[in-house]
């Protein structure tokens, strides 16, 4: 079978450092064309492929089977919809939309066109992620009592697009799809209640640190994302019989490195080890197989919607600073 021909829309850091090497290693996919307003950037991830400086030219290319969208957040939904209406399957960077209404719109277009649309939450394809979810939902650590997650780092250059509110900047949009939503998929998406939000604002008008605490199915969840706190990445799930936590310092972004889970059940401790892997490649290849009718797991759009609804609730509770 011929390789799946990918078209990249956007040629920024995540495309260059993550999806480009992932697809370059694939046996079932290849980068066929790249569309970017910066042709030099496009050349770095498609040295032998086609280069377009207009997104619609790539979407009109009949040889492109599907697209990967890695533009700034605010442009994800418009390009995803244009791509599906142009007959392309879509793997779109997180967040899929700026709010739940946008995600619902994207879901409707996917259904209308029959085109596959998947949010690229790549960490969900990591074997360790699947294993911690399995342990939590199996009841091995008993009735859940608390979930805690953190994804923080210290220092963003002032020119970073994550600080630009006009294109969907802010730390919750950036890191929330990892740590803030984890209690949802860990527990099987029960009802969210009792949300509280604390935010530190950047001078440019975006959230720089956001703590979102809530109950998920009655279980307290404490989450933090920040671009102004020293690096901290961890996930701990506690229950009446024990606990499970991600080992090391890469709870959500274990890429091409071995990783561990630390499990304690009724006083007995053990460590499960996972070989190095590339979850971006696992995601991209699962996407291709799914498009071709295989039963590979891909993240359902219903989960993307629940994440967007969680963010909507958090943003509604954020208290923006007022000028005195």
Active site residue 268: no
Q: Please, what is the average pLDDT of the chain?
A: 95
Indicate the SS3 state at residue 61.
Answer: coil
Residue range 30-56: mean pLDDT, rounded: 91
Domains and CATH numbers, the chain: 4-122+281-295 (3.40.50.720), 127-276 (3.30.360.10)
Q: What is the DSSP letter of 161?
A: G
Beta pairing, strands 259-265 & 4-9: unpaired
Predicted confidence (pLDDT) at residue 324 exceeds the cutoff of 50:
no
Residue range 29-35: mean pLDDT, rounded: 96
pTM above threshold 0.75: yes
Report the share of the chain in percent with pLDDT over 90. 87
Residue 156: per-residue pLDDT: 79
Residue 322: per-residue pLDDT: 65
Residue 251: per-residue pLDDT: 79
Predicted confidence (pLDDT) at residue 323 exceeds the cutoff of 70:
no
Beta pairing, strands 144-154 & 192-201: unpaired
* pLDDT confidence band for 119 (50 / 70 / 90): very high
Give the DSSP letter string of 86-154: TT-EEEEPSPSSSSHHHHHHHHHHHHHHT--EEE--GGGGSHHHHHHHHHHHHTTT-SEEEEEEEEEEE
Of 94, 115, 270, 295, the active-site residue reads 94
Predicted confidence (pLDDT) at residue 290 exceeds the cutoff of 60:
yes
Encode pLDDT of 68-77 as tens digits.
Answer: 999 999 999 9
Angle at which helix 301-317 crosses helix 100-113, to 10 degrees, equals 160
Closest CA to 149 of 168, 175, 173, 188: 175
Encode pLDDT of 167-200 as tens digits.
Answer: 999 999 999 999 999 999 999 999 999 999 999 9
Neighbours of 101 (CB within 10 A): 12
Buried b (16+ CB within 10 A) or exposed e, 281-306: bbbbbbbbbbbeeeebebbebebbbb
Indicate the SS3 state at residue 59.
Answer: helix
Predicted confidence (pLDDT) at residue 101 exceeds the cutoff of 70:
yes
CB 9 within 8 A of CB 1: no
The encoded tokens of residue 163 equal: 């600080």
CB 133 within 8 A of CB 186: yes
* Of 10-24, 28-42, 96-110, 149-163, the least confident: 149-163
Encode pLDDT of 227-276 as tens digits.
Answer: 999 999 999 999 999 999 997 777 787 888 999 999 999 999 999 999 99
* pLDDT confidence band for 161 (50 / 70 / 90): confident
Residue 37: per-residue pLDDT: 92
Cis amide leading into 295 (omega within 30): no
Which run of H or E residues covers position 20? helix 20-24
Beta pairing, strands 66-69 & 89-92: parallel
Closest CA to 180 of 215, 224, 116: 224
Give the list of residues 6+ apart from residue 282 with CB closer than 8 angstroms, or none: 122, 125, 126
């Amino acid at each position: 079978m011929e390789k799946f021909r990918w078209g990249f829309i956007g040629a920024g850091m995540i495309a260059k450092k993550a999806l480009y090497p992932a697809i370059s290693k694939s046996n079932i996919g290849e980068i066929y064309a790249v569309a970017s307003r910066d042709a030099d950037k496009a050349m770095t991830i498609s040295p032998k492929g086609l280069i377009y400086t207009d997104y619609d030219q790539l979407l009109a290319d009949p040889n492109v089977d599907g697209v990967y969208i890695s533009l700034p957040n605010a442009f994800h939904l418009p390009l995803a919809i244009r791509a599906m209406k142009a007959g392309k399957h879509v793997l779109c960077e997180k967040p899929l939309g700026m709010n739940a209404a946008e995600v619902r719109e994207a879901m409707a277009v996917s259904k209308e066109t029959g085109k596959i649309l998947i949010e690229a939450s790549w960490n969900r394809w990591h074997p360790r992620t699947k294993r911690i979810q399995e342990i939590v939902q199996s009841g091995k650590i008993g009735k859940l009592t608390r979930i805690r997650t953190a994804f923080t780092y210290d220092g963003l250059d002032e020119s970073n697009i994550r600080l630009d509110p006009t294109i969907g900047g802010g730390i919750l949009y950036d890191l929330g799809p990892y740590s803030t939503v984890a209690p949802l998929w860990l527990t099987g998406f029960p009802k969210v209640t009792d949300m509280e939000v604390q935010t530190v604002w950047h001078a440019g008008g975006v959230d720089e640190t956001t703590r979102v605490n809530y109950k998920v199915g009655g279980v307290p969840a404490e989450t933090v994302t920040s671009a102004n706190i020293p690096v901290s990445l961890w996930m701990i799930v506690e229950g009446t019989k024990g606990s499970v936590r991600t080992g090391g310092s890469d709870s959500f972004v274990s890429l091409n490195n071995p990783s561990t889970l630390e499990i304690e059940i009724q006083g007995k401790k053990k460590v499960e080890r996972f070989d190095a892997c590339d979850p971006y490649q696992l995601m991209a290849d699962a996407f291709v197989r799914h498009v071709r009718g295989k039963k590979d797991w891909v993240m359902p759009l219903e989960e993307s919607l629940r994440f967007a609804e969680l963010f909507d609730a958090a943003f509604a509770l954020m208290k923006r600073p007022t000028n005195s």
